[in-house]
Structure 1
Amino acid sequence: MGRPRTPLLDRERITTTALRLVDERGDFSVPEIARRLGAQTGSVYHHVDGRDGIVELLRERVAVGLDAAALELTPWDRALEEWARSYRAAFAAHPRAIPLLMTSPVRAPRVLEQYERAVTLLLDAGFATDTVMPLVIALENLVLGSALDLAAPEAMWELSDRTPTPRLAEVLAAVGEGRADRAFEVGLAAVLGHARGVLAAGG
């Protein structure tokens, strides 16, 4: 029997299958990936560095949606804003991957390169070294929280006559559609405003 024209297993197929599982149920297992690909579990391990290696492949796959070119824009705050928007959009496409990716150390080279570019942007703008990572982490927390919020039901508060909440009902009625987008804009403006203040105060 001749060799199959298309390899049964490779890193791309493993990553695609793992991401489908995560999108469906929020997690994956190596045996389940193998079953879906019609392969033996041990064969998967020939292509990846265990479960942690697959997580990093997922991180790289999701991060493809980030617009790294945004970090080349000027001034620095415009660059950071556009990068944050693309970051949010990339992760909003796979919200169930967020808890998985955010609870494991970042090792993926392409993702580390993006962080390098982001911190270089801020350092070159004049931010003090000890202020950079708190700003990046705060922005990341906002972005990922908002990406999860986009996947949430539009009506996150179910009001009941058993618990009178007339003022809550009033403001919920006033917010209208696009609650997650409006909240993201508030948070992004706050983070960028804080960053500008830090820079004006000497970095």
Structure 2
Amino acid sequence: MTARFITIEGLEGAGKSTQLSVLANWVTDHHGSPLVTREPGGTPLAEQIRDLVLGHHTETMDAWTELLLVFAARRQHVTEKIRPALAQSQWVVSDRFTDATYAYQGGGRGIDWARIEALESLVLEGFQPDLTLWLDCPADIGLARARQRGELDRIEQENIDFFERCRAAYERRHREHPDRVIRLDAAQSIEAVSADLVAVLEERCA
């Protein structure tokens, strides 16, 4: 099977880190060790941009500044790591990708969807994941889990309304790309979510 690019999406506290490990282990067992990465970030330069995006600053970051930084990091990530890995027949799994931009900068920040689409086309030239696993849980549940982890980053400290808008945007992405974006009920137990995730992989990627 041709190497695939698979992403995991979801709000804070949805369990992405745990399920990313399940995903990576499944890919390793079936197709060899994958490149495991994340966004924003994934390369040394993109990780520096991640620090800018998520860090706390003395001035307010404009929504468009945030959007452009995210896409700058993504371009570097795709060019330097993701495409080269796929070209070498290595599978790639990532904690978030462009769907997160529609959710956070589109839904959360309110940037027009069409403008994000135009920027995506310019920067990525049609490149997108082969499969996206969306871990969906109510925003209040996710935030309660996230707060248990300790100090919140700049985006994690947003209010509940922000994350409700992000979740609605993820739902829109799911509706618009039903064959690629698969919803998993992340309000379930970790074991139940993992079982659902593996079932999707067995059906789509075995």
Report the TM-score when normalising by structure 1.
0.30
Q: Which structure is larger by alpha-carbon Rg, 1 or 2?
A: 1
Report the TM-score when normalising by structure 2.
0.30
Q: Which has the higher helix share?
A: 1
